[in-house]
Amino acid sequence: MKFKLLTSASLLSLAVLTGCGQEVAKSDDVQTAKPEQVNAERIKAHVEFLADDTLKGRDTGSEGYQIAANYVKSNFKQLGLTPQGEHEGFEQIVTFRRTYLQDDSAKMTIENGAEQVELAFKQDFIMSGSALETESFVKAETVFVGYGVVSPEFDYDDYAGLDVEGKIVVTLTGRPDDLPSEEGAHIGSGSEKIRHAAERGAVGFITIHTPKRDKVRTFEKSAKYASAPRMSWLDKDGQPFGKHPEIKGGAYLNGEKAEPLFAGAEHSLADVFTQDSENKPVKGFNLNAVVTMASKSRHEEITSPNVIATLEGSDPQLKNEYVVFSAHLDHIGVSSHGEDHQEGEAEDNINNGALDNASGVSILLETARLLASKPVAPKRSILFVVVTGEEKGLLGSGYFANNPTVPSMQMVANVNLDMPLILYPFADVIAFGSTHSSLGQIVETAAQKIDISLSPDPMPEQALFTRSDHYNFVKAGIPSVFLMTGFKSKDPDIDGGKMFGDFLKNHYHQHSDQLDLPIRWDAAASFAEVNMMIGLEIANGEQRPTWNKGDFFGKTFAQ
């Protein structure tokens, strides 16, 4: 689409912000005011504003993102919500370090006996810049540690019997096939693998791209994004969170180029790949190779706010507990079509993110309005947390979870809204993470009150429970669910699962995720109603949600 100024979207949004001519009840009238009904036109107005070209894709730290944050703040103010950010305001400023890998600085060499192989960046290996150093160098012996996973709960320790002190560990991408999907996604995550390596004295970390992984995502596709900057949030000491200074270098290695690492070792690379592809146990062993890795990095700092507000609860004791609604406001900004752009075609390079996640934020705003309009507030307080940096690695929610503006122990549950696909009249919802805590029954009970069912995860292989902002609340010990539209449709002529798959294939993180999609505003209203009902069920419940007995995430993170 061509660049357009805010026109009808602005006027409609202005009407929404001024209450469409309705008088806003004063605090003294709260007991007699009538609760508002869900309003699809309000949600539409929010999405039209947030997904307009003027905001240029709401990239983290951009002017467009700040405009979006100001819009959210304005809505919170008009609803009479209490600022819950920093310095008695709505914003919690997050400082990020953006790291660039300097051109032609990435070097990697494998020495094994008389053989010395110098690898080519992007063709043979990829690496990112260092968030800790502007110049990085490491040269050390190597040890193969299988998948590099450690989990006493599932009786895994890929480091058992291996000494990696002062060495570079070599791992396969992925994790053991017999681990449960969601637990395995955590245990086998890159951050967990690197943490275990650092704790055992390793100085470098190499991941090998496998034939098994290649069926899901090719090395060449990953290499296209190798030069993209990376971001980390900075702690109070100005240090990038979650980075390990012990690890002096890291790389992702094309499997076809990894063979010199295994020359003369206990097992060949071909044997290891066969074990992985056939889902057989992969054990670690010492390697004979010495690897050298070097790079240069450039750093810059940017800031971007989370926006946080509270609706105070009505119960004298329970109001000190908070039900958290979260949604990410950022998207991926401006980018070129690249190979997909046809010569002579007018290029649309703005990623508007209408459904990812303007829809989630808009539904959060409508949920806030519905709850704020109730004659009597819910018993527990409601905390609305609109975060930045989700697309950069769940960064804004990670900052909030580690620097909460209310005590973590007082946050009883998190309901996260990310990319609700309001493209069809859904008959069910999916609550990723619902099997780990009492929130599963709470969500099901709340949804049934408005004739919506709760369905199990239809895509367990995607491990979506660990891939959105709620995951950082989980790691803070807070029972959480990630709420999305289900695959069932109220219209028998519409295949919800097919539409979901089409969006992921053709529109997710594409320029076409914009307002000309066939968005169903009635579905958006239904989703807001479900969301509100879940919030009320939690906020008015006698007991705060609890982790299920023996649950892995509860045992690992519960406070």
How many whole angstroms separate alpha carbon 482 and alpha carbon 430?
8
Mean per-residue pLDDT, 68-88: 98
Mean per-residue pLDDT, 219-241: 95
The pLDDT, as a whole number, for residue 345 is: 52
The pLDDT, as a whole number, for residue 346 is: 56
Q: How many CB atoms lie within 10 A of CB 113?
A: 11
Q: Three-state SS for 222?
A: helix
Which residues, listed in sequence order, are joined to residue 171 by a DSSP beta bridge? 207
Do the domains 99-299 and 8-80+312-557 match in fold? no
Region label for 377, one of left (φ > 0), alpha (ψ between -120 and 50) or beta (otherwise): beta
The pLDDT, as a whole number, for residue 400 is: 98
The pLDDT, as a whole number, for residue 546 is: 98
State pLDDT tens for residues 106-139: 999 999 998 999 999 999 999 999 999 999 999 9
Mean per-residue pLDDT, 382-404: 98
Note whether 394 and 60 are within 8 A (CB).
Answer: no
Q: Is residue 2 scored above 50 in pLDDT? A: no
State pLDDT tens for residues 271-285: 999 999 999 999 999
Mean per-residue pLDDT, 18-38: 48
Q: How many CB atoms lie within 10 A of CB 220?
A: 12
The pLDDT, as a whole number, for residue 347 is: 72
Question: Is residue 73 classed exposed, middle or buried when 0-12, 13-18 and 19+ CB atoms within 10 A define those classes?
Answer: buried
The pLDDT, as a whole number, for residue 16 is: 39
Q: Is residue 7 scored above 70 in pLDDT? A: no
Which of residues 223 and 343 earns the better pLDDT score?
223
The pLDDT, as a whole number, for residue 487 is: 95
Residue 393, token pair as written in the block: 């690695």
Q: How confident is the model at residue 331 (pLDDT cuts 50, 70, 90)?
A: very high
Torsion angle in degrees (nearest 10) through CA of 498, 504, 507, 508: 150
Q: How confident is the model at residue 35 (pLDDT cuts 50, 70, 90)?
A: low
Q: How confident is the model at residue 100 (pLDDT cuts 50, 70, 90)?
A: very high
Residue 297, token pair as written in the block: 């990095």
Q: Which helix (H) or strand (E) holds 134?
A: none
Q: Is residue 24 scored above 90 in pLDDT? A: no
Architecture of domain 99-299 in CATH?
A: 3-Layer(bba) Sandwich (3.50)
State pLDDT tens for residues 424-460: 999 999 999 999 999 999 999 999 999 999 999 998 8
For domain 8-80+312-557, say whether CATH 1.10.760.10 is its number: no
HEC assignment per residue over 34-100: CCCCCCHHHHHHHHHHHCCHHHHHHECCCHHHHHHHHHHHHHHHHCCCEECCCCCCCEEEEEEEEEE
Note whether 555 and 153 are within 8 A (CB).
Answer: yes
State pLDDT tens for residues 467-508: 999 999 999 999 999 999 999 999 999 999 999 999 999 999
**Residue 324 has what DSSP assignment?**
E
The pLDDT, as a whole number, for residue 194 is: 98
List the one residue out of 128, 123, 120 whose CA is nearest residue 101: 128
How many whole angstroms separate alpha carbon 311 and alpha carbon 81?
5
Ramachandran angles phi, psi of 550, nearest 5°: 80, 5
Q: What is the mean pLDDT of the chain?
A: 92
Q: Which helix (H) or strand (E) holds 502?
A: helix 496-506
Mean per-residue pLDDT, 229-258: 97
Question: Is residue 22 classed exposed, middle or buried when 0-12, 13-18 and 19+ CB atoms within 10 A define those classes?
Answer: exposed
Q: How many CB atoms lie within 10 A of CB 222?
A: 16
The pLDDT, as a whole number, for residue 227 is: 87
The pLDDT, as a whole number, for residue 8 is: 37
Side-chain-side CA neighbours of 31 within 13 Å: the count stands at: 2
Which residues, listed in sequence order, are joined to residue 148 by a DSSP beta bridge? none
Q: Where are the domains of the chain?
A: 8-80+312-557, 99-299
Q: How confident is the model at residue 539 (pLDDT cuts 50, 70, 90)?
A: very high
The pLDDT, as a whole number, for residue 25 is: 40
**Residue 354 has what DSSP assignment?**
I
State pLDDT tens for residues 348-371: 899 999 999 999 999 999 999 999
